[in-house]
Amino acid sequence: MSRHTVFAGATLVALVLVLIRMALGGPGLLNWYLLAWGLFAAAFWWARKVPKRELTLLVVAGGIVVTATGLVAPPSTSTDSFRYAWDGRVQAAGHSPYDYAPADPALGPLRDGWLFPDDCAAPGLAHLAEGVCTRINRPLVHTIYPPLAEGYFRLVHWLSPDGARHKPYQVGGALMAIAVLLALLRWTGLRQAACWAWCPAVPAEAVNNAHVDMLGVLLVVLAFCVVRGRGALLGAGIAAKLLPAVTLPGALSGVLRDGVAWRRVLAVVLPAGAVVVLAYLPYVLASRASVLGYLFGYFQEEGYEAPSARARYGVLRLVMPDSWTPFAAVAVLGLVIWLVLRHGDPDRPWEGALLVSGSLLLLLTPAYSWYALLVVALAAMDGRWEWLGVALAGAAAYLFGPSTLAYALATVGVVAGWAVRQRRAAGTLEEAGAR
């Protein structure tokens, strides 16, 4: 066994211990998170010279153990899985999840002591009325989740034994994270797979906090691992968590290179649109209220219309007035999408998808680290490690508060990574010309 293998393995053991401590929650969580990312970077560095056979063991076994750390405790920093469990329960009772908010008295018979505890003095509860409280966030509004996510919640509820609570959603997140790892091992190199296998964002957000974003990420990765069925899989990803819509330009990389490649456009857009429509249709027919739920209210709440309200567009606000930033974000993102459609590599669609999705998060600077799970997976597919800073910035913003500095540093890292790669490519061309 080489010394690089020993160092990488020891670093992974330390990473696992820190991730377990993270899952347990408590004070100083950001410090533990930063330490986990430091250990991840160190393990990734040592992996450069680990022999292939030994690296395979570290990536597969280490990835499974790292993923499993998210299962050791209840969700530590998010209550979203409580809404998932509620929506699954509501559907099992024969109601559309889009028709009633959790606070609606019509659903009173579905309440239990877990989601609606008797002790309203406990921290982190939302109070509905005198003596009535809930663990569910935003209990006064209808669900925001798209139909495939709701179908997932219903399936998990059906498969779960009584009293299972949040654990089935954590197990589901772990299984999907491992499925992504296996897909990366099949379609990319070992080191690229390690980028996903050991990343602290995966056990923290996909498993411990059990975010349904993991379902969308899995579908996007599978879409880019195939050619036939790509549009349908991307449509399924969008029907699971809307955000994967930003990967469509990647799937259409280069369609504007010589006019418009309409056959390629239709081959992606039509199946994607059809899957989204078919996923929504049963809920449209079964629901009295809008199936868009709280979507538009969420955008207002998050400050995308008033940037200073929630520190949105943080990086752009460093260089221009607040009132300009929404328009600048749209313009820059539009330019990025055009570059992908015009100059993107159709043989590497994940490259364009990474550029668009990562740019979106850098422009909007959201305070939710699980949004970046998609960026982590695409960075692993493309081998562009500099984009991982987006996930770290999102975690800093979520755990510490408005973090313009973290997103600014992530932006600098991405630009620096691009410059280094351009310089290397130019050097390679010069060497080839000299020969």
The first and second tokens of residue 249, run together, are 């330009």
* Cα–Cα distance measured from residue 378 to residue 205, given in angstroms and rounded to the nearest whole number: 16
- Share the mean pLDDT of the chain: 92
Asked if 231 and 193 touch (Cβ cutoff 8 Å), the reply is no
> Which residue in the block uniquely carries the two structure tokens 């078919």?
278
- Residue 250 has a pLDDT of 97
Residue 66: which of 214, 215, 199 has the closest Cα? Answer: 199
Mean pLDDT of the 24-52 span:
91
For CA atoms 263, 266, 269, 272, give the dihedral sign: negative
Residue 293 has pLDDT above 90, yes or no: no
Residue 217: which of 231, 233, 195, 229 has the closest Cα? Answer: 233
* Cα–Cα distance measured from residue 177 to residue 216, given in angstroms and rounded to the nearest whole number: 11
- Residue 227 has a pLDDT of 85
Asked if 127 and 136 touch (Cβ cutoff 8 Å), the reply is no
Chain segment 173-193, per-residue pLDDT in tens: 999 999 999 999 999 989 999
- The model's confidence at residue 432, banded by pLDDT at 50, 70 and 90, is low
- Residue 307 has a pLDDT of 62
* Cα–Cα distance measured from residue 136 to residue 138, given in angstroms and rounded to the nearest whole number: 7
- The model's confidence at residue 428, banded by pLDDT at 50, 70 and 90, is low
The first and second tokens of residue 176, run together, are 């999907």
Residue 435 has pLDDT above 60, yes or no: no
- Residue 402 has a pLDDT of 67
